[in-house]
Amino acid sequence: MIKNIKSKVFILFPDGVGLRNFAFTQFKEIGEQQGFDITYWNNTVFSLEKELGYPELKIESTRIHPKTPVIINHARKRVELSLSRKRTKDKVYPTYRFPLRWNNLKNIAKSSFVKFHETFSATPEGWQRLMDQMNAAERSTQRYQEVKAQLEEHRPDLVFCTTQRATQAIAPILAAQDLGIKTACWIYSWDNLPKGMTTIETDYYFVWSELMKSQLLEYYPKTREEQIFVTGTPQFEPHYDNSILLARKRYCEQHGLDEKKDYICFSGDDTTTSPLDHLYLKDTAEAVQKLNDRGYNIGIIFRPVPVDHSDRYSEILKEFDDIITTIKPLWKPMGEHWNQVMPTKEDFALLVNTCHHCELVVNICSSMVFDFVAHDKPTIYPNYEQPELKKGIRDIGQNYKYVHFKTMPSDAVVWAHKKEEYLYRYSTAFRKSS
């Protein structure tokens, strides 16, 4: 049992997504109070030692096997989704797939490999063969030898991986298992299990909820119930820390806001989830404009998703510059690539205060609903097509058919099934200026 694990724990960051949960919260301090010796095994460009003063061991090599992410892991994911489709007869699973690319010989070869396995390996045995191929490929790398040598030198009692999704986690977890070191992983997000996003197998798993526990047993039947621990998630911990709340006046002064206005937060989405997201921001702004003409005093705080560097919002922001104030997340670029943009502890405080000082949030299907409900604030989910929707552009309505929404109570959010509903929803949420 995991309670028999001794005190020396390596917290593996294969990428930056775990920083918010396990570096910017009280996770380390609570662990140390319970007698654990915690070292961060860091595969990211974010220096925990320099930024936070935490002990870290850097993984210098990030070169995984070239077949792992594009060919083997992609095929493995499609096989999982195909198995789920066969087992449940639910047509939602194919919608989780990213499209294959056929635009040149190299991509044709890769896509053919993936398509072949999706068609002919969609059995538990076929899935296991792909997992074995992926693990064998990672064990053959110099990187595997380097991380194994680190483990042999430091000999932790447990390696805890902060996400199950990252291909960068495969070699470190395999190296630990090959040395007889216990391993555990955190299922990163509420929607990950149905989407086939688990690339590593560990001795123990930590999940948000009983629902996620049942999903883990369903989608990964090799897993045993005693391996799974329901812990909740540290992701929303800062919302309950009143010490980081700013007074209304100070918050507004920091961001050039009008202290007397009521604010809506429009939380942006990435281009995959909501390719026409800018048009939903426009609809929101038009509704606010009409209400302000009727005597309301409402503004919009636009919080873009940190990894969206497109200019799709620029025209709307110009057109409604008297209504919309952009407050960008405090993420830091620490390299040249999109996945080297890292969250910061300061952004946690910014998010908490934005939730606290806004009356509601408009967002398309993200977990921002949980951030705002921690402050007893409602969420509006738009669920209508834009007239500009064309073939090849993803309809946002597809998002709400995903598995993780099927257990959501119908009144958990406010639904806007057409843009005209914004006027009614906002007029009932706010009072006219006196």
pLDDT digits (tens, 9 = 90+) for 285-302: 999 999 999 999 999 999
How confident is the model at residue 410, as a pLDDT?
83
How confident is the model at residue 342, as a pLDDT?
83
How confident is the model at residue 339, as a pLDDT?
57
Q: Tell me the C-alpha distance between 283 and 277, whole Å.
A: 10
Task: Give the residue-averaged pLDDT of 364-390.
Answer: 91
3 state SS of 218: helix
Contact 247, 259 (CB under 8 A): no
Q: Tell me the C-alpha distance between 15 and 18, whole Å.
A: 7
3 state SS of 214: helix
Q: State the pairing for strand pair 341-342/332-333.
A: antiparallel
Single-letter amino acid code for the residue at 359 = E
| Burial readout 76-96 (b: 16 or more C-beta within 10 A, e: otherwise) | bbbbbbbbbbeeeeeebbeeb
Contact 107, 118 (CB under 8 A): no
Q: Tell me the C-alpha distance between 375 and 244, whole Å.
A: 14
Q: State the pairing for strand pair 204-207/182-186.
A: parallel
3 state SS of 341: strand
User: Measuring CA to CA, which residue among 200, 202, 198 is closest to residue 189?
Assistant: 198
The pLDDT of residue 341 is above 80: no
Task: Give the residue-averaged pLDDT of 227-234.
Answer: 96
| CA end-to-end distance (rounded Å), the chain | 63
Contact 258, 397 (CB under 8 A): no
Query: CB atoms < 10 A from the CB of 232, how many?
Result: 11
How confident is the model at residue 394, as a pLDDT?
74
Contact 78, 158 (CB under 8 A): no
Q: What is the DSSP letter of 208?
A: S
% of the chain residues with pLDDT over 90: 82
Q: What is the DSSP letter of 220?
A: -
pLDDT digits (tens, 9 = 90+) for 155-177: 999 999 999 999 999 999 999 99
Name the fold adopted by 238-429: Rossmann fold (3.40.50)
Single-letter amino acid code for the residue at 412 = A
User: Measuring CA to CA, which residue among 207, 81, 64, 198 is closest to residue 131?
Assistant: 198
The pLDDT of residue 254 is above 70: yes
How confident is the model at residue 55, as a pLDDT?
95
How confident is the model at residue 333, as a pLDDT?
75
| Correct CATH for 2-64+141-232 of 3.40.50.2000, 3.40.1160.10, 2.40.50.140, 3.40.1190.20 | 3.40.50.2000
User: Measuring CA to CA, which residue among 216, 198, 194, 199 is closest to residue 207?
Assistant: 216
Residue count of the chain, please give it.
Answer: 434
Write out the two tokens for 59.
């993984």
Task: Give the residue-averaged pLDDT of 137-158.
Answer: 97
Phi/psi at 326 (5° precision):
-85, 125
| Burial readout 286-324 (b: 16 or more C-beta within 10 A, e: otherwise) | bbbbebbeeebbbbbbbbbbbebeeebbeebbeebeebb
DSSP code per residue over 115-135:
HHHHHH--SHHHHHHHHHHHH
Q: Tell me the C-alpha distance between 190 and 261, whole Å.
A: 34
**Top-confidence residue, 342 or 28:** 28
The gap from C-alpha 297 to its chain's centroid, in whole angstroms, comes to 34
How confident is the model at residue 155, as a pLDDT?
96
Q: Tell me the C-alpha distance between 164 and 216, whole Å.
A: 12
**Top-confidence residue, 93 or 3:** 93
pLDDT digits (tens, 9 = 90+) for 190-218: 999 999 999 999 999 999 999 999 999 99
Question: How much is the pTM?
Answer: 0.92
pLDDT digits (tens, 9 = 90+) for 100-119: 999 999 999 999 999 999 99
Sign of CA dihedral 51, 56, 62, 67: negative
